[in-house]
Amino acid sequence: MKQEHIDALRHQTIPDQGLLIDGQWAAAASGQALPVVSPIDGQQLCTIAAAGAVDVDRAVQAARRSFEQGVWSRMAPAERKKILHRIADRIEAHHAELAVLGVRDNGTEIAMAWKAEPGSAAGTFRYYAECVDKINGEIAPTPEGTLGLIHKEAVGVVGAIVPWNFPLMIGAWKIAPALAAGNSVVLKPSEDASLSLLRLAQLCLDAGLPAGVLNVVTGSGAEAGEALARHMDVDILTFTGSGPVGRMLLKASAESNLKRVYLELGGKSPNVVFEDAPDLAQAAKVSAMGIFRNSGQVCVAGSRLLVQRSVHDEFVDRLQNIASSLRVGDPLDVTMDIGAVSSARQLTRNQSMLARALEQGARLRTGGQVIAPVPGGQFMSPAVLDGVQPEMEIARQEVFGPVLAVMPFDDEAHAVRLANGTEYGLAAGVWTGSLSRAHRMVRAIKAGLVHVNTYGGPDITVPLGGVRQSGNGHDKSMHALDKYLDLKTAWIQL
């Protein structure tokens, strides 16, 4: 990753974008489009087509047709495997282009986007390419004279709704296993970050993915997302985003065809630091990036820091110094630590929640200001709050911004009560030198992912999913395939 390569791409003209339906790019039936405005400088990059119900229906029909015709679902597994590997090849060949395109769209710092977006997406397609010819059925232990066969079959049409914070990475988490299982997909990116996924769709076509197997409809959640959620011919809906939208999708499923809905929702993830942590300096450094990277716009961000009282002051001082030293600015500058907030709307929400926390008695140790390192852009300095009480909104509700809420605890039991003191259960962190305590905390904390003496970094080999109001189902790992496969029993009298 060299600055000159980034600079060569950052000012490239981006053409207005259409919808991908049945292998062809087209405008929305209404002719309407939405502006794409960069959070870096407030400049319009291009437009994306604003799909409506008619466009979504065409995309679903194309997906259904491709599935029933078997152009992908009945293709030999070895051939599907080759195509998925070719998609990964093309992502890698266009690594810089995809990374810069995504940063211009959503403001993630380039160092993180470089690895987490095209780097992760290519690895995800390779991982599931290797799964294609390893999806096997079972023979049941049946009585004499009968044969019980358990078949695993692709479900059909998958609707995938992807957020704006890591569109390429999360998009790959959904598209690749759905394709590996033999399904056809209709993808709805966020209207706030569609560009890298539209480019990915073209790379999939270039790699030989048959027409209609992957369709992309851009536009608003209220129109395109709602139409996809309510469509009677979508078999599965997979979504990453907010809890309120997740509830709307469940309602849409109940009021349509009872499609299965898999949700990865919000989090207010606790990061628990005990006095016996192996290295407090390292814990502070990693914990800071566990909340402040990508301006806090990370589903699993460690947004609640719980520190044992005996080391609380020392640790918060360390973390305050780190936070105040982080460089916030142009996300396409490789020297920056933190990039832009994704939109003016999100920046306003961040500031509103920070203001309410201060009104309720929290103390601002550092940061929290709206800053302007690039004129016209959306930027906020990392904020550290202490004096936070468990009943405060900032301790219970997700900000999705660079705001850290710090609370002290007395002992292990107190730490567990605080850690589990929200409606969420997505991720957590534990810092301790005691192996026994680490295992106890992993079991006691209600979360789908618990880090021990680290924060962030789990790769494609392990699942990601939440409990409680952080959702259901899993992305990543072999377990993600379960969402996209049906079990069919054959009971045969011999």
Q: At what angle do helices 167-180 and 195-206 cross, to 10 degrees?
A: 40
d(CA 431, CA 429): 7
d(CA 106, CA 96): 16
- Written as six digits, the tokens of 262 are 């898999």
Residue of 109, 191, 223, 264 with catalytic role? 264
Active site annotation includes 4: no
Q: Is 229 exposed, middle or buried (0-12, 13-18, 19+ CB in 10 A)?
A: buried
- Written as six digits, the tokens of 434 are 């005691």
Residue showing tokens 């305050």 = 320
- Provide CB contacts within 8 A for 110, sequence distance 6+: 1, 6, 99, 100, 103, 331, 332, 333, 334, 336, 339
Residue showing tokens 């997909």 = 185
d(CA 430, CA 334): 31
Nearest CA-CA partner of 291 in 326, 263, 315, 265: 326
User: What residues are labeled active site?
Assistant: 264
